C-alpha cells in the first residue's frame, strides 16, 4: 500500500517527547493547517535535524499520511527561533533582551492552539504568523514595540478567525499580514483601546 507524501512549510508550535528518541510535533502548516505529526528518532543525538524538530522552528517538511497518523519523513531549510535569539554566539546581554521576544511568541502560539479548530489550511493566517516570527528576528529591543507587535498579531488572528468584526479604524491593518513600523506605531498609540477589544473578543469566543 502506498501513502501520499505532502511537502509543506510549517511552524512548530509545540513538541512532545515519545519514548527515548521520538517526538510528536504540533505544527501549523501552510498546506495542511494545524496537525500533529510523528517524528521518529528526532531526539537521537545522531539526528542532524534534532535542533529543528522542536518548538519555535520554521522548516519545510515532508509528511506522509499513514493509516492512522501523519509521519515526518524529512525536512530541510528553515530556522529555530529560540536558537536564533539565544545562540551561544550572542552576548548574555543580548540574550536577556531577546527574552521578551520568545515570551511574546510563546503567548501567540498558545492562543493560536486554543483558537484553531480542526485540520484546515489557511494561507492568510499562516502568512500572518510567519511574518510575525520573521519580524521578531530583527534587531530591535524596544519593549513598547514588542508588546504592540504582539497585540497586532493577536488582533489579526482574531480577525482572520472571525472573532473581531467591524473594526473600521484598523481594518486595513489587521486584514493584512505585512508588518511595517507605521503599523506598530499605530498599535503603540492605541494600545489600551485595542487591548480592551482583543480581550473582549477572546472572552466572547468562549474557547
Q: Distance (Å, rounded) from C-alpha 124 to C-alpha 130? A: 10
Same domain, 37 and 72: yes
Question: What is the pLDDT averaged over residues 17-31?
Answer: 91
* Cα distances (Å, whole numbers) of residue 10 to 35, 142, 148: 10, 28, 25
The fraction of the chain above a pLDDT of 70, given in percent, is 93
- Average pLDDT value over all residues in the chain: 87
Same domain, 73 and 99: no
Alpha carbons within 13 A on the beta-carbon side of 29: 24
Q: Which domain holds residue 182?
A: 90-205
pLDDT tens for 72-130 read 988 887 888 888 887 766 677 777 778 888 899 999 999 999 998 776 789 999 999 99
Question: Is it the case that residue 145 has pLDDT exceeding 70?
Answer: yes
Q: Work out the number of other CB atoms within 10 angstroms of the CB of residue 57.
A: 25
Q: How many domains does one find in the chain?
A: 2
The pTM of this model reads: 0.89
Joined together, the cell numbers standing for residue 206 give 468562549
Same domain, 122 and 176: yes
Joined together, the cell numbers standing for residue 41 give 528518532
Helix (H, G, I), strand (E, B) or coil at 77: strand
Same domain, 49 and 140: no
Q: Distance (Å, rounded) from C-alpha 100 to C-alpha 1? A: 48
Asked which of 62, 81, 100 is the last residue of a domain, the reply is 81
Same domain, 76 and 160: no
19: alpha, beta or left? (left if phi > 0; alpha if psi -120 to 50): left
Same domain, 50 and 68: yes
Amino acid at each position: 500500500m502506498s501513502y501520499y507524501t505532502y511537502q509543506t512549510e510549517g511552524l512548530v508550535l509545540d513538541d512532545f517527547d515519545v519514548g527515548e528518541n521520538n517526538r510528536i510535533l504540533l505544527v501549523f502548516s501552510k498546506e495542511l493547517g494545524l496537525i500533529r505529526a510523528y517524528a521518529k528518532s528526532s531526539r537521537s543525538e545522531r539526528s542532524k535535524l534534532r535542533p529543528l524538530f522542536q518548538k519555535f522552528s520554521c522548516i519545510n517538511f515532508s509528511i506522509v499520511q499513514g493509516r492512522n497518523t501523519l509521519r515526518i519523513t524529512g525536512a530541510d531549510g528553515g530556522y529555530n527561533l529560540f536558537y536564533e535569539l539565544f545562540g551561544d554566539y550572542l552576548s548574555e546581554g543580548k540574550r536577556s533582551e531577546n527574552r521578551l521576544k520568545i515570551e511574546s511568541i510563546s503567548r501567540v502560539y498558545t492562543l493560536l492552539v486554543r483558537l484553531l479548530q480542526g485540520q484546515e489550511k489557511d494561507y492568510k493566517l499562516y502568512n500572518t504568523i510567519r511574518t510575525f516570527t520573521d519580524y521578531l528576528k530583527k534587531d530591535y529591543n524596544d519593549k513598547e514595540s514588542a508588546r504592540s507587535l504582539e497585540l497586532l498579531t493577536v488582533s489579526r488572528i482574531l480577525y482572520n478567525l472571525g472573532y473581531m468584526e467591524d473594526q473600521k479604524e484598523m481594518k486595513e491593518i489587521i486584514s493584512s499580514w505585512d508588518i511595517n513600523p507605521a503599523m506598530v506605531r499605530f498599535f503603540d498609540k492605541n494600545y489600551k483601546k485595542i487591548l480592551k477589544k482583543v480581550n473582549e473578543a477572546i472572552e466572547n469566543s468562549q474557547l
